[in-house]
Chains A and B, each alone.
Chain A
């Protein structure tokens, strides 16, 4: 969670101006190495092992992200009560692009109805049904 009110984003303190709140989503990836025996038809050389990605199931991500949710324990604004997904209030993010390793920034674009302390929970729902959750530190959102 970052405070983007200045020229550069810095880790958020106890209070942040709502429209300057930024959440950083760090996507990591684990690539399985495909070890294939590949015969080389050379009578003078022994068969060698080669890494050949083409033999793996390319573009298959067992744990690919299928959904992303940001919720708060506190009512945010009309239509966004506690527990509702607040993702539409953030800058757009393309879920299918979350399979590559990179940091994604979620910028909050709308102010809450009133000043209050929120505990945000970021939930990443994976293709195999698992859900990864991260409960962030309480932050007071200023209008």
Chain B
């Protein structure tokens, strides 16, 4: 029995040894990156009762990525997490809100929005390749991610009826209590430039498609009789595309036989 085990070990040894040598040609990679993020298109709240839309603003955010070598041909398994923080144009949103509530029988005063945010927290995994050239490494990648997203917004509308004492306060809120989970697909490519044996500078581009689900709470309170009612609007999932320009630093380790 012992002899059989030793024989098996002797047979497998070259395979393990080859595998070990091969993976070490491509090092493990840990990367920290920052992003200039642009949410493409417009924020669209597709609900017939209260349609809202406004453009997104570019923001800066970041993330972390770990790449583990899978074979000796540059195939990696990448794990990552990153934040995407966007915001919705307050001025445009205020105009849309003003137009929505406009009524010839009322005086309208819109206050805010005091804050707007369209945030994603993405985490996931997927394959990446590291294609080596004489100058740089080229790293195309394709990921499947989970996306925890939220919209934040606070605005207030005062409506005073003309020729009447009646007035009401309308509070509009999108809050983190309505955070939504959906899947995301991320495709991108990075260029990696060697600074030292273990430190690389990177620059690249990422394109993300994901669903986000805005939920809007409209609370109408009559100011004279204090009557109050709340409407919660949940339109269909809002598909969001995000383009990111990323720069970062990579730390490479666990390699022995580099090709560089």
> A residues bordering B, Cβ < 8 Å?
4-7, 17, 19-22, 91-92, 107-109
Contact A92 B225 (CB under 8 A): yes
**A91-B224, A91-B225, A92-B225 known; A5 and B107 CB under 8 Å?**
no
Complex CA–CA separation, A108 to B165 (angstroms): 7
Q: How far is the CB of B15 from chain A (nearest CB, A)?
A: 84
A22 nearest in chain B by CB position: B165
**Chain A positions within 8 Å of B162 at CB level:** 5-6
A91 nearest in chain B by CB position: B224
**Chain A positions within 8 Å of B160 at CB level:** 7
**Chain B positions within 8 Å of A20 at CB level:** 163-165
**Chain A positions within 8 Å of B225 at CB level:** 91-92
Which residue of A7, A22, A91, A107 is within 8 Å of B107 (Cβ)?
A7
Q: How far is the CB of B167 from chain A (nearest CB, A)?
A: 9
A142 nearest in chain B by CB position: B163
Q: How many residues in B have their beta carbons less than 8 Å from beta carbons of A? A: 10
Complex CA–CA separation, A63 to B164 (angstroms): 34
**Chain A positions within 8 Å of B165 at CB level:** 4, 19-22, 91, 107-109
Contact B224 A19 (CB under 8 A): no
Q: A19-B163, A19-B165 are in contact. List 7 more A-B contacts (CB 8 A).
A: A4-B164, A17-B164, A19-B164, A20-B163, A21-B165, A91-B225, A92-B226
Contact A107 B224 (CB under 8 A): yes
**Chain A positions within 8 Å of B164 at CB level:** 4-5, 17, 19-20
Complex CA–CA separation, A4 to B166 (angstroms): 9
Q: How far is the CB of B162 from chain A (nearest CB, A)?
A: 7
B165 nearest in chain A by CB position: A107
Contact A17 B163 (CB under 8 A): yes
Q: How far is the CB of A134 from chain B (nearest CB, A)?
A: 20
